[in-house]
Amino acid sequence: MVPLRPLLRPSLLRVARVLLVSAFAVGALGTAGATIAQAATGGQASTAPFAAQAVAAQAVAAPAAPRAMWVWDTSTPAATVDLAVSRGIGQLYAAVPPHVDSSPELASLIDLSRRARAAGLRVDALGGDPGWVDNPTRVVDSWLRPALATGLFTGVHADIEPYTGTAWQTKQATVVKKYLATLDTLRTSAGSAPLEADIPFWFDGVAANGSTLDREVLRRTAGVTVMAYRNLAAGPDGSVALSAAEVQAGTQLGRPVRVGQETTFLGDGPADTKQTFFGQTGTQFEAQLSAIAGAFGESPGFAGIAIHDASGYAALAP
């Protein structure tokens, strides 16, 4: 889904200045250039040099990490798996309704899981709603346990997006606390099934537990997908710059981070169109995905690309 909060990082001016450094100067930064004086960032290491080095590294060939893909419409299992196999997708986030054991969608999920596993793909149970933070126990009883009881899923993928609820505007600190508690509950209740989560790129600017919200989510999960939705990889407002803080945090905390990219229609306004590849060709899309992978290919925290979603991806012209 689309991160609905700020479209720009507060620190983008700082990032932009770094991105203008010449290739020679960027190379001279070396590994030590990944951090700058903490006084400039309120005690947090800046990710601007990290983003600059990532963009400069795009020309360096790196092995492609398996991609992931959101599947909100699970009604066409054969087509979905065929698409995944043909595009190098290794993991599916498959939408699961509450009480799936009695849902009419169960049959298509069984078919999707069987086809995916036969093709060597991992399938995780996808679900989420901002209201989850108000009653995580109910979520466990009505969604998590029935989903895992089917035996169809390797892991759990939470797309809660608490900032889309009305309370975020007036009681953000309370919502953040409840959100993290919900992740704790899901992680404990999931048992051996790994829990992953979707987060927007700007969570690095939200305070939480003396740290930042992106890092607190990473500490509670097996990995995250950062929704850095832009149709350009490079530049101060490109996907690389927007996701640099999360990839760096994943590297430091030992958690994998995927960079999410959008393909569905979001609207006709400039703020909408710049967030999606809808209306572009598959060739244009792949060029930007390659740029992101090239930028982060040397980072241990980078786990590849996640594509939102199967329907939008399939609709892209060649």
HSE of 276 in the Cβ direction (CA atoms, 13 Å)?
23
Does 205 score more than 60 pLDDT?
Answer: yes
Residue 65 banded pLDDT, cuts 50, 70, 90: confident
Check residue 59 and give its pLDDT.
Answer: 35
CA distance 84 to 82: 5
SS3 readout for 73-138: CCCCHHHHHHHHHHCCEEEEEEECCCCHHHCCCHHHHHHHHHHHHHCCCEEEEEECCHHHHHCHHH
All structural domains of the chain, each given as residue ranges with its CATH number in brackets, are: 12-315 (3.20.20.120)
pTM: 0.83
Distance CA 274, CA 262 (A): 10
**What is the rounded average pLDDT of the residues 194-220?**
98
Give the pLDDT confidence of 31-45 residue by residue, as tens digits. Answer: 223 322 232 233 334
Mean pLDDT of 121-133: 98
Mean pLDDT of 2-24: 37
- Per residue, what are the HEC states of the chain? CCCCCCCCCCCHHHHHHHHCCCHHHHHHHCHHHHCCCHHHHCCCCCCHHHHHHHHHHHHCCCCCCCEEEEECCCCCHHHHHHHHHHCCEEEEEEECCCCHHHCCCHHHHHHHHHHHHHCCCEEEEEECCHHHHHCHHHHHHHHHHHHHHCCCCCEEEECCCHHHCCHHHHCHHHHHHHHHHHHHHHHHHHCCCCEEEEEEHHHHHCEECCEEHHHHHHHHCCEEEEECCCCCCCCCCCHHHHHHHHHHHHHHHCCCEEEEEECCCCCCCHHHHCCCCCCCEHHHHHHHHHHHHHHHCCCCCEEEEEEECHHHHHHCEC
Most confident of 15-29, 52-66, 278-292: 278-292
Predicted pLDDT of residue 66:
83
What mean pLDDT do residues 182-210 have? 98
